Chain A
Amino acid sequence: MLRNWRANRIVFFFVCMFLCGGLIIISAAGTIAPVEGVLATPLNFLSGIFNDISQTVNSAITDLSEIQELRQRNAELEEALAQFQAELVGLREINSDYQRLSDLLEYTTSVQNQEFVTADVINFDQSSLLRTIVINRGARDGIARGMPVVTRQGLVGRIVEVSASASRVLLINDPSSYVSARLQTSRAEGSVEGQLTGNLRMIDIPLNADVREGDLVLTSGLGGNFPADIVIGQVTSTRQFEFELNQEAEVRSLINFDTLEFVLVVTSFQPVDISVFENEDAQNP
């Protein structure tokens, strides 16, 4: 029985293989092509559905990977943008420095018989009680106490402290600063003093002097502290009091003391000490 079954199985196998071979031959010959077409229809339909699903999934996966790529690209671009912005800021800074330095150079070449040392402002002390700046030039660079400090826009102040490599400049708008001044048009003399507000005021102007808004105020050179004819500022308003012998004028400096970056120290000017004469006057009234 077992032998029969085994024999049947072998026969069955060969029958199957024979059928299969026949199928292959007639299929390869194209005889059953129409039947194949009909049979393939439902399979193609199913395959089409799965293909659609597959394409949708594939597309979603591609989109996801593209989003990831875009995010990465975006991060790279943002990084590059930050770098370029930093470079742009640096270039603007260089351009700004260049403008200021070229202004200073123009000024120094326009002023005859004067020697200058260019200095960077390295510190500000502009509280309402004290208005000074520190520059990066000192005794080693030929800076001495009392030397005037200017920019192209006018007078900045004078050196009050000197170390080997830095100096402190008392700004003209410091409340303790007095500068002998002159009005350019009327040639009236006076003094420009700093205010607690940071503004400038010209005092001791003779009552008969013709003071007008917009008049330029220059150093007079009197007192020997500053060379003459350095611009201090412009008159913005005047005040007269009946009970006083002088009049006053509000002066606006052309310099923005809060944003000073470069200054020129006039090294060729030596302040004159006239305190000796003042002492003599006091002793011999």
Chain B
Amino acid sequence: MGNFLSLPILMIAAALQTSLTKQIRLLGGEPDLVFLLVLSWSINSELEQSVVWAFIGGICLDLLSGAPMGASIPGMLILIFGVSGLGQQVYRIGIVILVGLVLIGTLVQQIIFMGIIALTGQRVLWFESLTYVTLPTILYNLLFIIPVYWFVRRIQNGLSRRQIKS
């Protein structure tokens, strides 16, 4: 069920990210809603389902951007595999770990994305991009992770209750 839900949710998130959130852009950074949804989903979900979310989210984002399709996926894949590994090491992922995941995850996601862009022949100003785009995006993601995580948890709880009933 989570796989089916991913399509509309991530489509809407990607559309929002390329339209509404641009209005609250800080320097070159804006909240990465798709990334936050995938991360939030992966914390309390199976790895396979999270991978589906990462692929769908990444493809949606890339279809709306000038980047080659799939460029946004590797960063998210690394993150969700990391989260999956972390989930086996700790009892539960609390707020501090969540903040750490957002911090590191955003950085990894942005660096890998820029690397892919660079590999496809486009010019990337690394230092300027990191300071002008990545840092504000990290700030926004830290701000938005709580409501996004709360939203994802509600959906996951709803799905769990439905599964138990059936």
Q: Is B120 an interface residue (CB 8 A)?
A: yes
Chain A: interface residue total (CB-CB under 8 A): 28
Chain A neighbourhood of B16, CB < 8 A: 50
Q: Is B114 an interface residue (CB 8 A)?
A: no
Q: Is A96 an interface residue (CB 8 A)?
A: no
Query: Of B12, B55, B69, which is within 8 A of A24 by CB?
Result: B69
Contact call B22/A20, Cβ cutoff below 8 A: no
Contact call A36/B77, Cβ cutoff below 8 A: no
Q: Is A111 an interface residue (CB 8 A)?
A: no
Query: CA–CA, A50 to B64, complex, Å?
Result: 13
Q: Is A98 an interface residue (CB 8 A)?
A: no
Contact call A20/B70, Cβ cutoff below 8 A: yes
Q: Is B89 an interface residue (CB 8 A)?
A: no
Does more than half of chain B's interface fall in helix, strand or loop, or is it mixed? helix
Q: For residue B11, give the distance in angstroms from its CB to the closest CB of chain A.
A: 6
Query: Of B18, B19, B81, which is within 8 A of A9 by CB?
Result: B81
Does more than half of chain A's interface fall in helix, strand or loop, or is it mixed? helix
Q: Is A84 an interface residue (CB 8 A)?
A: no
Contact of A54 with B64 at beta-carbon distance under 8 Å, contacts A24-B71, A24-B120 already known: no
Contact call B64/A16, Cβ cutoff below 8 A: no
Query: Of A17, A28, A36, which is within 8 A of B74 by CB?
Result: A17
Instruction: Give the most central of B16, B69, B73, B116: most A CB within 10 Å.
Output: B69
Contact call A46/B15, Cβ cutoff below 8 A: yes
A-B contact count (CB 8 A): 75
Contact call A27/B23, Cβ cutoff below 8 A: no
Instruction: Give the most central of B18, B19, B55, B84: most A CB within 10 Å.
Output: B19
Contact call A20/B11, Cβ cutoff below 8 A: no
In the complex, residue of chain B having the shortest beta-carbon distance to the beta carbon of A53: B20
Contact call B47/A51, Cβ cutoff below 8 A: no
Q: Is B68 an interface residue (CB 8 A)?
A: yes
Contact call B81/A13, Cβ cutoff below 8 A: yes
Tell me the chain A residues, 27-62 only, with Cβ under 8 Å from chain B: 27-28, 32, 36, 39-40, 42-44, 46-51, 53-54, 57-58
Given A12-B47, A27-B68, A40-B64, 9 other A-B residues pairs in contact with their CB atoms under 8 A: A13-B81, A20-B77, A23-B70, A43-B11, A43-B14, A47-B15, A47-B18, A47-B19, A54-B23
Could you list 21 examples of A-B contacts with CB < 8 Å? Answer: A9-B47, A9-B81, A9-B84, A16-B77, A17-B74, A20-B70, A20-B77, A21-B70, A24-B68, A24-B116, A32-B69, A36-B63, A43-B11, A44-B64, A46-B15, A47-B14, A47-B15, A47-B18, A48-B19, A50-B18, A54-B19
Top 4 A-B pairs, shortest CB-CB distance: A23-B70, A46-B15, A50-B19, A27-B69
